[in-house]
A = this chain, B = another copy of it.
């Protein structure tokens, strides 16, 4: 019955024959073993990196006199053809060959014969897979950095156009103080900037080449690991062969950065869901990113935002999963480490689509200033300004001013109006020292304009920070 649950795998009755490690074994691996062992269903995504790594390795072997130039040329040519076959969908992947590395090597042997059997000299699957996977993660980081920069631009564009649009700033989802929509959006530009920084740091840190570390101890062939490192864009070869094959920090750090980034996106997605709800109505999302209902024809559901909100689940799960796999694992290599890729692939896919969907939602969304203003009629958003006035103009200690402002809010609440609508007499009934110059200082426009401190919500300050951000994040 369990078999029914497991993914269908193509049957192969030549597993023993073709297996590269079948030499010593009397009986072949069972089908079950093949099912649990084979990774080709997902690691075929490494084909570009595997081919690039093998080309660099062959070139180095030839340069060091370990194989002939003719063999090297044949290997390059064969690998080039394999790349084309895969890209054209003509390559036949075989479960019995277990992984992408053996699928490619086996096909290479079909194409070029003996030179293919010399390619694996002075390397092992251990350093090969570490190299391939690192290269893939590096490519993923580059793609994500590009996508995050694009999202920052979308936010900055929207923020520039809405630097003056007043909305409630919330804490605890309660109206706290008025802010501008542009100011609020710029908070996410900062978050994404840190995300890009984390990915960039991870990229620098991972950029040491495992290739040539061989199984775990280096090799006795006169190789040049600096040469392959340079050819593959690495800064240097990894300095300890055992570490080079057992290290998956690059995957963990990628997942950690992805998880934090996904949490940022989920916070924005939650705001989109709330802002686009009937009761808030601060924004409307475009048709492209909402859906209807099969039973409720009136619905306009923020499905894309909800899916973005949910994505941290699987990405944190993937981070967690790989940390668990590696916890307590002795060096140098255990098959446990084969579990390293699927989570990373899924996290990269999930984060990539979440960034793209969020960027699309930002570009498409329409802000609704009337609803934002209407919301500011509730919740006494300028109570802090009143307290600050009493500190600044009346010289009251902050804590006393805070209490007096609270009492005035209570007066307004009892009367069912905002504090801006109270008369001077009503204000003075609580705090006699309040002066006529208070008039006009309790409007949301005044309140926003007054917060000119560095990084504050005053429109001119927001515009100044937008200008900074473009430069800091290289978006100009």
Residue ID in chain B nearest A259 by CB atoms: B323
Q: Are B312 and A327 within 8 A (Cβ)?
A: yes
Assembled-state Cα–Cα distance A117/B402 (Å): 10
Q: Are B36 and A353 within 8 A (Cβ)?
A: yes
**Cβ of A316: which chain B residues have Cβ within 8 Å of it?**
320-321, 323-324, 327
Q: Are B277 and A146 within 8 A (Cβ)?
A: no
Say whether A274 faces chain B, with CB atoms less than 8 Å apart: yes
A23-B403, A118-B398, A169-B242 given as contacts; is B218 within 8 A of A266 (CB)? Answer: no
Distance of A149 from chain B, by nearest CB (Å): 11
**Chain A, interface SS category:** helix
Pick the residue among B26, B173, B187 that contacts A277 (CB under 8 A). B173
Q: Which of A11-31 contact B (CB under 8 A)?
A: 20-30
Residue ID in chain B nearest A334 by CB atoms: B306
Assembled-state Cα–Cα distance A399/B142 (Å): 36
Q: Are A323 and B312 within 8 A (Cβ)?
A: yes
Say whether A329 faces chain B, with CB atoms less than 8 Å apart: yes
A260-B256, A271-B330, A297-B402 given as contacts; is B216 within 8 A of A171 (CB)? Answer: yes
Q: Can you list 18 A-B contacts (CB < 8 A)?
A: A6-B352, A37-B304, A37-B307, A121-B391, A171-B299, A172-B303, A176-B217, A190-B238, A212-B453, A214-B456, A244-B455, A252-B263, A266-B328, A297-B387, A309-B336, A313-B343, A316-B323, A317-B324
* Copies of this chain: 4
**Cβ of A172: which chain B residues have Cβ within 8 Å of it?**
273, 299, 301-303, 306, 333-335
Say whether A289 faces chain B, with CB atoms less than 8 Å apart: yes
**Cβ of A472: which chain B residues have Cβ within 8 Å of it?**
239
**Cβ of A407: which chain B residues have Cβ within 8 Å of it?**
23-24
Assembled-state Cα–Cα distance A270/B26 (Å): 25
Pick the residue among B239, B387, B469 that contacts A190 (CB under 8 A). B239
Say whether A154 faces chain B, with CB atoms less than 8 Å apart: no
Pick the residue among B118, B237, B297 that contacts A383 (CB under 8 A). B297
Say whether A410 faces chain B, with CB atoms less than 8 Å apart: yes
Distance of A271 from chain B, by nearest CB (Å): 5
Say whether A433 faces chain B, with CB atoms less than 8 Å apart: no
Q: Are A252 and B260 within 8 A (Cβ)?
A: yes
Q: Are A33 and B304 within 8 A (Cβ)?
A: yes
Q: Are B303 and A335 within 8 A (Cβ)?
A: yes
Q: Are B379 and A332 within 8 A (Cβ)?
A: no
Q: Which of A110-169 contact B (CB under 8 A)?
A: 114-115, 117-122, 124-126, 140, 142-144, 146-147, 168-169
A328-B266, A360-B30 given as contacts; is B2 within 8 A of A455 (CB)? Answer: no
Distance of A146 from chain B, by nearest CB (Å): 5
Assembled-state Cα–Cα distance A311/B279 (Å): 27
Q: Are A349 and B6 within 8 A (Cβ)?
A: yes
Pick the residue among B37, B318, B375, B454 that contacts A226 (CB under 8 A). B454
Distance of A120 from chain B, by nearest CB (Å): 5
